[in-house]
């Protein structure tokens, strides 16, 4: 699986958009970009995933660049409950496809 | 619809003992993966079970073993516990082949194992 690079930490004011970047310059054509988050001591929570088109769901939007070498997770209106570690993961799909977690980005949402 | 459940939530063992952790997958999921998360680190893949067989294994010693039952639930067994085995153990389930190419994994709350 391709490796990812994320900033170790970011701050965001409550109510503002949080934009979390991820670099995955060695991604291959059949690898998806997945985002998970982990609130302190809980299990990781699935947020969103995509292949090459931008994706949106009730939690977030995922913007993938045209060359697929980077992506941005957007939380449109961050709240204090969005404070967590966010993991960007690139993986092949399929039944034997593990998730390889890096160190993620610690997002701190403040008043 | 219940999500992934794990038991127990917390466990304290001493070095050399053996431990069994349990996982029930999300309804409709037939594939179970186990991860170990040491303090301050991201989860590390241990192994994955599908159709009651271990399908893929991460870089963990043979002291770590597992089992999947016909109802898709799973157990993780760790023998000869070491202090370094203290961690949060996470179970994730996914729809496997039924999920097609986007085989999204959903995690349980984890079991916190402390080895003294």
Q: Would you say B33 and B6 are in contact if contact means Cβ atoms under 8 Å apart? A: no
pLDDT in tens, A56-102: 999 999 999 999 999 999 999 999 999 999 999 998 876 567 899 99
SS in 3 state form for A38-65?
Answer: ECCCCCCEEEEEECCCCEECCCCEEEEC
Best B38, B43, B46, B55 residue to mutate vs chain A (most A CBs within 10 Å):
B43
pLDDT at residue B100, rounded to an integer: 58
Place of tokens 């003992």: B17
Cβ–Cβ below 8 Å for B106 and A46: yes
* Residue B60 contacts A where some CB pair is shorter than 8 Å: no
Residues of chain B with pLDDT under 70: 1, 96-102
Confidence of residue A41 (pLDDT cuts 50, 70, 90): confident
């Amino acid at each position: 699986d391709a490796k990812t690079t994320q900033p170790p930490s970011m701050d965001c004011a409550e109510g503002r958009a949080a934009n979390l970047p991820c670099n995955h310059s060695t991604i291959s054509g059949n690898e998806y970009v997945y985002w998970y988050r982990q609130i302190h001591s809980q299990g990781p929570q699935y947020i969103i995933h995509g292949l090459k088109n931008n994706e949106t769901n009730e939690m977030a939007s995922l913007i993938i660049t045209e060359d697929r070498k980077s992506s941005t997770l957007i939380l449109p209106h961050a709240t204090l409950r969005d404070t967590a570690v966010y993991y960007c993961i690139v993986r092949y799909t399929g039944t034997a496809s593990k998730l390889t977690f890096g160190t993620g980005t610690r997002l701190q949402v403040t008043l | 619809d219940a999500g992934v459940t794990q038991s127990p939530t917390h466990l304290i063992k001493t070095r050399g003992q053996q431990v069994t952790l349990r996982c029930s997958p999300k309804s409709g999921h037939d594939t179970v993966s186990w991860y170990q998360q040491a303090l301050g680190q991201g989860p590390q893949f241990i192994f994955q079970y599908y159709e009651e067989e271990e399908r893929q294994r991460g870089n963990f010693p043979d002291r770590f073993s597992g089992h999947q039952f016909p109802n898709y639930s799973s157990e993780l067994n760790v023998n000869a516990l070491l202090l370094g085995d203290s961690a949060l153990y996470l179970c994730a389930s996914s729809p496997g082949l039924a999920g097609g190419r986007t085989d999204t994994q959903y995690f349980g709350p984890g079991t916190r194992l402390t080895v003294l």
